[in-house]
Structure 1
């Protein structure tokens, strides 16, 4: 049995794509997953299963959500070891920063620096980003809502062909904790 986190992109934001967490838990339990619990209302669910891999579990959950709620939702599934490795590899001094200043964008596949070639890092200072394993770390000292670099990183041409979903550092750490227990 492996414990995973399902990361749902773009739900319960501004009254759109409403996915009540109790319904999501029931849906996942109906798929045969165990120990299902959710974190916050923004699309994190932790579960245990003995079948499948990250990609097949994400595909299954994507189809089930669309079938149940009537709209598509991008889903990434990541196991504890991956989530822990991403947190440990953070290139920024996470312990010294406010959690609102540090974010991780999880990608459905590996990304290379060429995707970001048209973004001038110097033009966005003191904001910075670094690439990791299917992840991007963003340091935004004034928070994500005011980040011009976050806007540039979210452009469709940068993320073309990928599922990408971001979490603040508090959530990154919490997911490691929840999938490890």
Structure 2
């Protein structure tokens, strides 16, 4: 059995995309995954599975979520080892950029092509910059960026299927589940 972490995109936003933790647990368990746990109500899930194929795991979850909810729930998964490495790299990136106001990590379904990485990293402004590392894109925001802005650097549209978490959540989940 391998431990996987899943990150659900665009749930619990408004009245139409509601997906409570108890329902997430039920649906993930119903497709045969074991030892399922969630962290806060923003779509962070840990489970064990015998499946090895990331695309197959994601497709299984997405089909089950759509069937249960009646709307698509894009899902990005990592092995526990991959996520622990991602979290360690995020911590190092944060340490290499002191004075940040915020550090968000976009978790990507697929790695970006070289030209996509260049386009994402070119979104740099006086409010911050983006760094792409494999299936993670780091939004490094400086003091003065407009807090509450969903995509202050205008890079999210370039990332494909992705969902973001702040550095604190990334670190908490790595410590708790990896």
Place the TM-score, normalised by the shorter chain, in its bin.
0.7 to 0.9
Taking the aligned partners of 2:121 and 2:98, their CA distance within structure 1 comes to: 26
Q: Are residues 83 and 118 of structure 1, via their aligned partners in 2, closer, same or farther at CA, if it must alter by over 3 Å?
A: closer
Q: Offset of 1:153 from its aligned partner?
A: 0.5
Deviation beyond 4 Å, 4+ runs, structure 1: 94-98, 118-122
Structure 2: stretches of 5+ with no match in the other structure: none
> Which residue of structure 2 aligns with residue 93 of structure 1?
95
Partner of 2:36: 36
| Counterparts of 1:168 and 1:33, CA distance in 2 | 27
Deviations 1:146-168 (A, max 9, x none): 4521xx1022xx13xx3111111
Task: Work out the number of aligned pairs and report it.
Answer: 172
Corresponding residue of 1:178: 176
* TM-score relative to the length of structure 1: 0.84
Cα distance in structure 2, aligned partners of 1:50 and 1:119: 37
Q: Displacement of 1:68 after TM fit?
A: 1.0
Whose helix fraction is larger, Structure 1's or Structure 2's?
1
How many Å separate the matches in 2 of 1:24 and 1:18? 10
TM-score by length of 2: 0.85
- Measured after TM superposition, the shift of residue 117 of structure 1 is 2.8
**Gap regions ≥5 residues in structure 1:** none
RMSD: 2.3
Distance 1:47 1:57 in 2: 11
Contact 1:5 1:175 in 2 (8 A): no
Q: Against the structure 1 CA distance between its residues 49 and 101, is the aligned structure 2 distance closer, same or farther, given a 3 Å change threshold? A: same
Secondary structure of the corresponding residue to residue 137 of structure 2: strand
